[in-house]
Amino acid sequence: SLASAPDTALVMLDIRPGLEAAAAAPAAIRREDYRAPDWLVPEVALSFELDPARTIVKARLSVTRNGEHDRPLRLDGEELELLGVRVDGAAVEPRFEDGRLVVDLAGPAAVVETEVAILPDKNSQLMGLYASGGILCTQCEAEGFRRITFFPDRPDVLSRYTVRLSADQHAFPILLANGNPVDSGIGPGGSHWALWEDPFPKPCYLFAIVAGDLACNQDSFRTASGRTVDLGIWVREADLPKTQLAMQALKDAFAWDERVYGREYDLDRFNIVAVSDFNFGAMENKGLNIFNTRYVLADPETATDADIDAVAAVVAHEYFHNWSGNRVTCRDWFQLSLKEGLTVFRDQGFSEDMGSEAVQRIDQVRTLRAAQFPEDAGPLAHPIRPDSYMEIANFYTATVYNKGAEVIRMMRTILGPERYRKGTDLYFERHDGQAVTCEDFVRAMEDASGVDLGQFRRWYSQAGTPKVHARLEQKDGKAALHLRQDVPPTPGQEAKKPMVIPLRVALIGADSGRELGPERTVLLTSAEQVEPFAEVGEPAFLSINRGFSAPVVIEAERRPGEIEALAASDPDSFARYEAGQELMARDLLAAIRGADLRTDAVVAAVGATLRSNQLDPAFKADAIALPAESQLIEKLNRADPGRVHDVREAMRRAIGQGLSDDLSRAHMAAGGADPASLSGEAKGQRRLRGATLALLGAGDPKVGEALASRQYAGARTMTERQSALMTLAMLGGDKAEEALGDFYARFEDDALVIDKWFAVQASVPGEATLEKVEALMRHPAFTMTNPNRLRALAGNFASTPSAFHRADGAGYDWLAETIVAADKLNPQTAARFVAPLGRWRRIEEGRAAKMRAALERILREPGLSKDVFELASKSLG
Ligand code: ARG
Ligand code: ZN
C-alpha cells in the first residue's frame, strides 16, 4: 500500500491583505503547549536495506504507555512510502490523522513494526537519508528522523538503538552507525551487512548511519580513567592527507573537556565522517559525528588560517556535545540554546585556551555583532529560548547559538569560575540521561552556587540587545558611574523589564594612563543606577564592558581625547580594541551623516598600532580594520549603503595614503612568517599581511596591484593567496582576471577551494558585482544542489552591502529569485538567505520599498516551504 503522509497540518489562514492569498500559513508551535509524550520507546531495532535508488527501512519499536491515558500512539512520518504495519506481530490497517500514523494500542506496552521505502537519491533537502558524492548518510536534527521511519520524532523520547545495515559490498564497503559494532557478515548477491548497538539511550535526532567507500585516519585517545578510545576520521581516500589537523583538534578536545569540565568520553570509539553536501557545519550524532567537508579537510595550502581555526572549533564543538547535548539533552526544541549556547561557550573556551584569548574574544564579538545584533534589532528577533516557531530549522540562529553562549559566559562572570564549574558538575550529574530545559540549567547553577539568578533569567525570555548609557562624573576626588539601561522593543515584546548586566569596569588615569584601583564587575540590575568610585586622584577615563562582559551596546559619554587615549593604551586589550573601533565609528558615522570626513585621529591611531613593539601581529590586524559596512548601517537611521561604502572607502584611502610607509614595512615584515607554522605568531603575521595589503591597495591601486600580484605569485599558503586574490579582485582589471584564472586552474579539482573562487568574486564591493554573480551562476562549476557552493555565491553577495543594495533593486530581485529556485530543492538552505531582505527598516526608503517588494514576490510563489514562508512573512512585519 502507498500512503505518503502529507506534510504536517496546514491551517488555512488569511495572512495579509494585499498579498494574493496563495500561501497557507503553517500553524505556530508554542512553548507553553508542551506536553509529555503519550508513549515512550525504550528500545528500537532498525534494519536498512541500503540502495540510493530505493532503501527499505524496517523498524521495530518497543513502546510503553506513559502515564494514565487512553490515547493512541502517534508516529511522525514524512515522504515515507508505507509498506506495512504490525502490532505485536499482527498486521493492522494504517490510519492517518493530521499527517501522523495513528496506532491504537490496548495494553501498557506493545511491539510496533513498520516497513517503509525511502528514496535517498531524490532527497535534495539533505534531511533524513540522502546521497552525497556516492556516500549515503543521514541528518536528523531537528526533525529528519521522520523522513527515515515512522517515529515519535521529539527529543524527549529516548531509546536504545540496535541497527542492522546491509548494502552492496563494492559500492558501500564501509557501514557505520552510532555506538559499537557488534557483528558483520556477507549477505546474498554481493551484499554485506553490519550490526551496531548504541548502549546509551538517545533521542532520534542523534541517530546516524553512513555507508560508502571511505578511507580512515585512525588514531586513539587514552582517557583520564585509562580507557582507550579508537578515533576515526572517515573521508574519500584522496582526502586523507587533509585530516591531520582535525585529528589533532579532536585529541585536544578530548583532553580539554577532561581537564576543564571533568567530562570523559563514554564509548570505545568515536567516528567523524566528512560529506560534501551538508546543510550546515556539522552534527553531533552519538559516536558518529557527520561533518561538512569544510570543517574537516584542511591543510595550509588549501585552507586559510581562519578555516583551520574553524575546523578545530567545530570538531571541538561537536565533541563537546557528547555531554552538553547528548548525555543531557533538550526536552523540546524551544530549549535548543540549552545545548547550543552551552556548547558554543565551551568551544569558545577551548579556542581561547588553544590560541590567544584576546584575539579569540575579538573574533567572537565580531561574529556576534555581524550576525546576532542585526537579528536582535530586526523583524526576526527572538529570545534565546523562543516562545513559538513555525519551522524549528529557522531557529538555529546566531541568537540561540552565539547570544546563548554570551548568556552562559555572563553566568560564569557573575558566579566566578569555581562556582560555575560546581554548577556544570551538578547539572551533568543531576540530569545525566534526561531531556531537560534551560530552567533546569539555571537551577543547577543556583543550587551549586547559592546565587539567586531570578532576574538573570530575563536573558532567556526577553529579546533585543540592551543599550547601556554610561556617564562618569568626577567631583572632589570622587567618581560616580551613572548607568542607564534600555532594552528595545522586539516583535511581540513591546515593554521590557531591566536585565542583569555584568559590566567589567576600570578607571584609567588620564595623565598616568594607569588603572586607578582594581577592575571591578558592576552588576547593573535596575533601569538606572549610580556606582560610586572612591578616591580618584586624577581625571579618569572610563574603560567599560571590558572583555565584552555583557552582550550589550555601550553608549558612553566621552571627554575630549578619551577614546583616543583608551585606543592607544587601555591595558585590557579587548577594551583597547573596542576604543579603536569606537573612534573609527565616530568619525565614519559623522561623515556619513553629512559632516566633513575627519581622518586625522583614525590615521594617528592606526599608525601607532602599526608601529607598536608591544602589540602582537594578530591584534594589530584586528585593530587596524574599520568597522564593517553592515555594522555602520545598523547604527544609522535609514542608511544609504552606497554612501556608507564611499565614506568608508575614503577613510581606507586616507589610511593607505597617510601610512604607506608604516603599512609597507608591516606588510614586508609579516611576509617572513614560516609558511609551515601554525603558531599564533605565524598566523598573526599572515593576518597582518592581508590587512596591510588591503589598506595599501586602498591607498594606491597601482601599488596595491603590484604588491598583491607578487604576494599571489609567491604565496605558499592559502591565507596569503586568498588575501592577495581578494585585493586584486577588489581592484579589478587584467591582473585580477589573470589571478582568478590561475586560481581556478590550480584548484579545479578541490571543491572547497573552488567555493572560495566563487566567494571572492561575490564579495567584491560595488554595483557591478551582480552581473558577475549572474554570470557565475551559469558557470559549469556552479550548482544549487550543493549548499556550500550556493552559500559561497548567494551568501557572500547578500552580505556585501554595496553590491547587494544596488540602487535599482536588482540585487534584491536576484536574491528573491534565487531563494525561490533553491526552495524547491532545499528549503532549509534557501531560508538562510531571507534575512538580508528583512533588514529593510535600516535602509533608505527607495531601496527599502524594493526590498519589501522582493519579499512579497517570494511570498507569492506557490508551494513555498514552511521555512521560507515563516522568515519572509515575518520579515515584512
Ligand atoms: N546540532 C548541530 C550543531 O550545532 C547543528 C544542527 C543544525 N540543524 C539544523 N536544522 N539547522 O552542532
Ligand atoms: Zn551545536
Please tell me the pTM assigned to this model.
0.97
Question: Binning pLDDT at 50, 70 and 90, where does residue 534 land?
Answer: confident
What pLDDT is recorded for position 535?
A: 78
- Residue from 138, 139, 141, 321 to probe ligand 1 pocket by mutation (most atoms less than 8 Å from CB): 141
Q: Using CA positions, which residue lies closest to atom 3 of ligand 1?
A: 283
pLDDT tens column, 755-782:
999 999 999 999 999 999 999 999 999 9
The response to whether residue 318 sits with its C-beta less than 6 Å from ligand 1 reads yes
Residue 75: DSSP 8-state: E
- Stretch (H or E) spanning 461: helix 458-461
Q: Which three cell numbers stand for residue 230?
A: 579508537
What pLDDT is recorded for position 24?
A: 62
Cα of 283 from ligand 1 centre, angstroms:
6
With the CA atoms of 140, 143, 144 and 148 taken in that order, what torsion angle do they form, in degrees rounded to the nearest 10?
110
The response to whether residue 283 sits with its C-beta less than 6 Å from ligand 1 reads yes
Interface pTM (ipTM) of the complex? 0.98
| 760-784 as b/e: b if 16+ CB within 10 A | bbbbbbbbebbebbeebbeeeebeb
Question: Binning pLDDT at 50, 70 and 90, where does residue 347 land?
Answer: very high
Whether residue 869 contacts residue 829, with contact meaning beta carbons closer than 8 Å, is answered with no
Residue 151: DSSP 8-state: B
Cα of 401 from ligand 1 centre, angstroms:
10
The response to whether residue 347 sits with its C-beta less than 6 Å from ligand 1 reads no
* Residue 502 CA: distances (Å) to CA of 367, 525, 729: 20, 9, 43
In DSSP notation, 596-651 reads PPP-HHHHHHHHHHHH-SSS-HHHHHHHTSPPPHHHHHHHSSSB-HHHHHHHHHHH
Please give the Cα distance from 362 to 353 (Å, whole number): 14
Ligand nearest, relative to CA of residue 127:
1
Q: Using CA positions, which residue lies closest to atom 5 of ligand 1?
A: 283
Given the residues 78, 113, 143, 318, the one annotated as active site: 318
**For range 481-494, the mean pLDDT:** 98
The response to whether residue 205 sits with its C-beta less than 6 Å from ligand 1 reads no
Cα of 285 from ligand 2 centre, angstroms:
11
Please give the Cα distance from 249 to 478 (Å, whole number): 50
The one-letter amino acid code at 654 reads: A
Whether residue 696 contacts residue 704, with contact meaning beta carbons closer than 8 Å, is answered with yes
Cα of 340 from ligand 2 centre, angstroms:
5
Cα of 280 from ligand 2 centre, angstroms:
10
Q: Using CA positions, which residue lies closest to atom 12 of ligand 1?
A: 283
pLDDT tens column, 571-583:
999 999 999 999 9
Ligand nearest, relative to CA of residue 340:
2
Neighbours of 731 (CB within 10 A): 18
Residue 328: DSSP 8-state: B
The response to whether residue 141 sits with its C-beta less than 6 Å from ligand 1 reads yes
Say if strands 228-235 and 215-222 run parallel, antiparallel, or are unpaired.
Answer: antiparallel
pLDDT tens column, 371-428:
999 999 999 999 999 999 999 999 999 999 999 999 999 999 999 999 999 999 999 9
pLDDT tens column, 190-230:
999 999 999 999 999 999 999 999 999 999 999 999 999 99
The response to whether residue 313 sits with its C-beta less than 6 Å from ligand 1 reads no
Q: Which ligand 1 atom minimizes the distance to the CA of 279?
A: 11
Say if strands 269-275 and 228-235 run parallel, antiparallel, or are unpaired.
Answer: parallel
The one-letter amino acid code at 834 reads: V
- Residue from 125, 153, 280, 337 to probe ligand 1 pocket by mutation (most atoms less than 8 Å from CB): 280
- Length of the chain equals 877
Q: Which residues share a beta bridge with 90?
A: 87
- Stretch (H or E) spanning 798: helix 796-798
What pLDDT is recorded for position 610?
A: 98
Is there a catalytic annotation at residue 557?
A: no
Ligand nearest, relative to CA of residue 285:
1
Please give the Cα distance from 409 to 305 (Å, whole number): 26
Cα of 7 from ligand 2 centre, angstroms:
27
Query: What average pLDDT does the chain have?
Result: 96
Rg, C-alpha atoms of the chain: 28
- Give me the residue label for grid cell 578511507: 215
Please give the Cα distance from 686 to 724 (Å, whole number): 11
Contacts of range 70-74, beta carbons closer than 8 Å, 24 or more positions apart: 71/38, 72/38, 72/102, 72/103, 72/104, 72/105, 73/38, 73/39, 73/102, 73/103, 73/104, 73/105, 73/110, 73/112, 73/152, 74/38, 74/100, 74/101, 74/102, 74/103, 74/152
